Amino acid sequence: MSEEHSINRSQHNKNRYRGRRRFRSNDAGGRMRPVGTVTVVIPLLNEEESLPILGAKLEEVLNRIAPDSWNVLFIDDGSTDGSYRVLEDLHTKNHRFTAIRFRRNYGKSAALAVGFAEARGEYVITMDADLQDDPQELPALIAKLEEGYDLVSGWKRKRYDPWHKTIPSKLFNAVTSMMSGIKLHDFNCGLKAYRREVVETVQVYGEMHRYIPALAHWEGFRVTELPVQHHPRKYGVSKFGVSRFLKGFLDLLTVLFTTRFVKRPMHLFGGVGGLFALIGFVTDLYLAIEWALGLTSLSNRPLALFGVAMIIVGVQLVSIGLIGELIVKNSLKRERYSIKERIP
């Protein structure tokens, strides 16, 4: 299997070159212009019924938009059903279908990280394996990349999932959109298209796959979204329960902290701490004035304690910010800046 894989890889590189040449010298006949090389990365867990249908649909679309210059990489994340056997079948029928199988389940982010590392296409597409994402959307996504965007995120405008997923999901998207400063309706859509540089730059781990558009945006890539068709799940079961939303929000804190504030802890702690201390100060000032005017006796005003607590917590947070700044100053590692291009 591994040998086959490597043969396929060199075959694929040749295709990639061919794809490039075509890309430059086409369009004369007014036919649909074939795009550069495309790698479709599909993380999956226990989707044996959907995979054969997905394979056929992808083959049809990809042969149309990127003839001779596509491949599909499935990442089987420790499936316990017959998924891997189906992937072997797909590969036997068409060597452009390849697969990687994890020894156990590592999660969707891990699968995407490996897929991104292995993908060789100029354009990298990710999609779910459960047939909820429609391969027919690929041409539109790629057209958007060709307009000059670096990441095109699918937007399931009409979503076919139960309410207990769609409602928390709306909330999740609203908060993420606000916190991350990038306006998207659907961060966690499985269907996305990337320019190669994006998947080389963005680091996905933990459960960070939900924040890839935000991470890419902060790296300076041009991110946009495109409404896509979504379908109800026909086979198998959903693997993500409601618990994912709590984890998702904790991850948002991590993402914000490690990307935006890691160099400036004072901006976070100082801001929050300063605000707390101010609230405490104003509260106690108000009480002090009342007391001075003889309107109240502080011993029966619990609000006084609240004010004092806020001041203490605020000062503590500012101090933590200062300590954070000291640590950052003393451990300045070599920075990783993302360079777009250079001359010569």
Ligand X SMILES: Nc1nc2c(ncn2[C@@H]2O[C@H](COP(=O)(O)OP(=O)(O)O)[C@@H](O)[C@H]2O)c(=O)[nH]1
Secondary element (H or E) of residue 212: helix 212-218
Of 45, 87, 90, 184, the residue at the interface with ligand X (CB under 6 A) is 45
256-267 burial, b for 16+ CB within 10 Å, e for fewer? beebbbeeebbe
Q: Could you say whether residue 130 binds Mg ion (CB under 5 A)?
A: yes
Of 170-178, 214-222, 236-244, 287-295: span binding ligand X (CB under 6 A): 236-244
In 3-state terms, what secondary structure has residue 138? Answer: helix
Angle at 340 between CA 337 and CA 344, to 5 degrees: 115
Which residues contact residue 249 at a Cβ distance below 8 angstroms, ignoring those fewer than 6 apart?
A: 172, 175
Q: Which of residues 169-198 bind ligand X (CB under 6 A)?
A: 190
Q: Could you say whether residue 48 binds ligand X (CB under 6 A)?
A: no
As a whole number of angstroms, the distance between CA 35 and CA 139 comes to 9
What is the nearest approach in angstroms of ligand X to the Cβ of residue 130? Answer: 4
Q: Could you say whether residue 132 binds ligand X (CB under 6 A)?
A: yes
Of 3-11, 17-25, 100-108, 321-329: span binding ligand X (CB under 6 A): 100-108
Pairing mode, strands 192-195 and 151-156: antiparallel
| DSSP β-bridge partners for residue 126 | 41, 192
Q: Could you say whether residue 111 binds ligand X (CB under 6 A)?
A: yes
> Which stretches does DSSP call E strand in 259-337?
none
Of 8, 94, 105, 259, the residue at the interface with ligand X (CB under 6 A) is 105
Cβ-based nearer residue to Mg ion, 109 or 132: 132
Which residues contact residue 76 at a Cβ distance below 8 angstroms, ignoring those fewer than 6 apart?
A: 44, 45, 83, 84, 87, 99, 100, 101, 102
Choose the one of ligand X, Mg ion, none that binds residue 105, judging by a C-beta under 5 to 8 angstroms depending on kind.
Answer: ligand X
As a whole number of angstroms, the distance between CA 311 and CA 304 comes to 11
Of 12-20, 232-240, 321-329, 330-338: span binding ligand X (CB under 6 A): 232-240
Of 86, 119, 129, 184, the residue at the interface with ligand X (CB under 6 A) is 129
As a whole number of angstroms, the distance between CA 149 and CA 175 comes to 24
Q: Could you say whether residue 43 binds ligand X (CB under 6 A)?
A: yes
Of 103-111, 203-211, 298-306, 309-317: span binding ligand X (CB under 6 A): 103-111
Kindly state the number of chain residues that form the binding site for ligand X, as judged by CB under 6 A. 18
Q: What is the DSSP string of 91-132?
A: HHH-TTEEEEE-SS---HHHHHHHHHHH--SSEEEE--SSS-
Cβ-based nearer residue to ligand X, 238 or 319: 238
Cβ-based nearer residue to ligand X, 120 or 233: 233
As a whole number of angstroms, the distance between CA 160 and CA 165 comes to 10
Of 132, 169, 201, 224, the residue at the interface with Mg ion (CB under 5 A) is 132
Cβ-based nearer residue to Mg ion, 234 or 263: 234
Cβ-based nearer residue to ligand X, 15 or 46: 46
Of 107, 139, 168, 206, the residue at the interface with ligand X (CB under 6 A) is 107
What is the nearest approach in angstroms of ligand X to the Cβ of residue 108? Answer: 4
Largest alpha-carbon pair distance within the chain? 91
- Give contact residues for Mg ion (rule: CB under 5 A): 130, 132
